Structure 1
Amino acid sequence: MRLGVNAALVHDRIVEGDVAVEGGLIEGVGLSPAGRTGLAVPGFIDVQINGFDGVDFTTADADDYTRVAGCLASTGVTTFQPTLITLPVPDYFGALGRLRSTSITNARILGMHLEGPFLSPVRSGAHDPRNTLSPDPKLTRRFLDAGPVTYMTIAPELPGALDLIEMLVAEGVTVALGHTDADAPTANAAFDRGARSVTHIFGAQRPWRHRDPGISGAALVRDDVFITAIVDGVHLAPEAVKLAANAAGVRFVLITDAISAAGRPDGRYLLGDRTVILDHGACRLENGTLAGSVLTMDQAVRNMIDLGFDPLRAVAAATSAPAELVRRPDLGSLEPGTAADVCVLDDSYQVIRTIVGGIESFAL
């Protein structure tokens, strides 16, 4: 099947010509004759999203996942990783069990991101600090047995955290550091043990200082650590985005951290067991603490472009970078033989078509 596009983003260059898909895979790029319009890019990947359109993944069932995937398709997302904040322990098992029994066709679900409960109570952010726990290998094993845990955020300064990181890495789980008061030496020890990324850079973590750079300083100067960021114009000042993106280079990963309020009007919504107020684009607890976002991935890409980044660089932060972070070489690329997950953009970088596994999931 030809897509009818006039160009495609392949690695870091534009290839003129059409794209063909067959059997759920990219069959060819740069084909003649080219289509009339549209730039094909890899489908967007969101490794941190808590919910969308009234759905919170803490309580989501298969129908909810299908509905969310349909909403995300309109934003170019073909792969996402549902995320659970710090919750009462029984809530994790229910959510993991429901995800394990869920099968959808209009998006790929990487597995579950547990953003808790092994986080610092002094850097809990919007999470309820009463739900935070010290790292517990036996409880972690129960989580892994309950459902598809693919990613976990941990505070490395907690007792037993470094050993737990090694355990998770051995199980194939991507480990991120976040909601942490760790200093730079502790962060580096965790990265040396296999932690691979930082969760929402600069947010809910020890602040950077010139003699105490903390986790952000440690991560930004390493070439083996990915930096995830919420580029919504609320969580980070433009200078902070530029600092992180310029330092991280190809390791810079866009996330939405969207909650159930995304796609909905102002009002009160749930984030796990927390009530969040959406008001004029910002999600906050009643005490004013930021609590996720209503950002979409296509808007995050456009926000990077508006900050002066090359459009191809912005697209890479939503495609090839997250694919490399989660070690999925079959995703985030339009090389022949990779998954036929495609987002087609117009000249304004608006999404006009989304394809998952060679099957159209959205079109204007």
Structure 2
Amino acid sequence: MSVDATDAAGFVDLHCHGGAGYSFDDADASGIEAALQYHHGQGTDGVVLSLVSAPVPALARRLGDLRRILPSLPGALGVHLEGPFLSPERRGAHDPDALTVPSREAVGALLAAGEGVLRQITIAPELPGAAEAIDAFVAAGVTVAVGHTQADHDTAASAFDRGASLLTHAFNAMPGLGHREPGPVGAALERDHVVLEVVADGMHVHPVVLRTLFAAASGRVALVTDAMAATGLGDGGYLLGGLDVEVRGGRPLLRGTDTLAGSTLTLARAIEVVVASGVPRPDAFAAATSVPRRVLGQDTL
């Protein structure tokens, strides 16, 4: 099965870092537009721009820049901060020097800088101050995602019960779904208000797990790309938040490691992968359309 741009029109990506050689962390308006246009050409009408971890003042400045830039760019649906409130043990491709705890001052600075544009934030709920941070972001209308976390089931469950409603790239950068220790995935599965992101590129999650996830969380799975700047380009060397990334065979890795650094995925390709794993085509399409729209609180773009 293949998905072309006309068939796929209307996709919404909740978690995308860039494309066509541009990163949302530092691209100017023309670069952001080029990345959005690339994804639009692959059938994605709306993108939440994801930023990797950086020092809070730098993120605040970037949010200010994006508040000025995004209103003029069709398809830009706001900003997702994937950090800096992440577990050092589960940081993945995030700069460890940029990670910090969600202090009241840090949370306030990001909320003020991101007013009107900050849509989502990923938080490791075991960090000191995380509970209060979740309360503050939820009260401000920001979708809180649990992710890049070492949290056990009960800690993640508490975060969801406080109002967190999204799981950042389920299974990746978190404890697994164990039969005695179900972890964050188990906590998300048992709560009907939680949507689970998944990166279906054939590398991040096994097809058996994809099929199981869609069966266990019917109508609550959102396909995301986690795409980085190399998306739409060839293999080679790139940057992700200042860290060196090498793309080989379409697989982006932190240079010198086996750590995945996002993906070079499109949502059209993600649907192909999910359907090939045994998920019904309508469910796969919903995971790239109606489910992410619901996360954003909108039925149409």
Query: Which category of TM-score, normalised to the shorter sequence, fits these structures?
Result: over 0.9
Answer 1 or 2: which has greater helix percent: 2
Report the counterpart of residue 227 of structure 1 in structure 2: 196
Task: Give the equivalent residue in structure 1 for 2:81.
Answer: 114
What percentage of aligned pairs have identical amino acids? 42
Q: Counting strand residues as a fraction of each chain, which structure ranks higher?
A: 1
Q: Paired residue for 1:9?
A: none
Contact kept in structure 1, 2:9 and 2:44, CA below 8 Å: no
Unpaired stretches in structure 1, ≥5 consecutive residues: 1-37, 332-364
Do structure 1's residue 258 and structure 2's residue 258 form an aligned pair? no
- Measured after TM superposition, the shift of residue 103 of structure 1 is 4.1
Structure 1 residue runs of 4+, over 6 Å off?
Answer: 38-41
Partners in 1 of 2:220 and 2:237 — Cα distance? 35
Q: Which residue of 1 aligns with 2:149?
A: 180
1:325 counterpart residue number: 295
Write the distance in 2 (CA, Å) between the matches of 1:129 and 1:103.
28
2:240 and 2:209 map into 1 onto residues whose CA distance is 26
1:69 pairs with 17, 20, 36, which one? 36
8 Å CA contact retained: 2:152, 2:175: yes
On the 8 A contact 2:124/2:148 being kept in 1, the answer is: yes
Q: When the two structures are superposed, what TM-score results if normalisation uses the length of structure 2?
A: 0.93
C-alpha offsets along residues 27-86 of structure 1, whole Å, 9 cap, x if unaligned?
Answer: xxxxxxxxxxx9766610001001101101111111112111211111111110110111
Q: Which moved more, 1:177-186 or 1:89-98?
A: 89-98
Structure ID, larger Rg? 1
Question: What is the CA deviation profile of residues 67-117 of structure 1, one whole-angstrom value per residue up to 9, with x for unaligned ones?
Answer: 112111111111101101111333312321221111466632121100101
Secondary structure at the residue paired with 1:135?
Answer: coil
Matches within 5 A, 1:70-219: 70-103=37-70, 107-147=74-114, 148-219=117-188
Following TM superposition, by how much is the alpha carbon of 1:221 offset from its aligned partner in structure 2, in angstroms?
Answer: 2.3
Matched, 1:271 2:240: yes
Greater relative contact order, per chain length (Cα 8 Å cut-off, separation 6+): 1
The TM-score, its normalising length taken from structure 1, stands at 0.78
Q: Which SS does the other structure have where 1:150 is aligned?
A: strand
In 2: Cα distance, 1:52 partner to 1:41 partner: 18
Instruction: Report the Cα distance in structure 1 between the residues aligned to 2:232 and 2:245, rounded to whole angstroms.
Output: 15
In structure 1, the partner of 2:279 is 309
In the other structure, the counterpart of 1:344 is none
* RMSD, aligned CA: 1.6
Structure 2: 5+ residue stretches without partners: none
Aligned-partner residue type, residue 276 of structure 2 = D
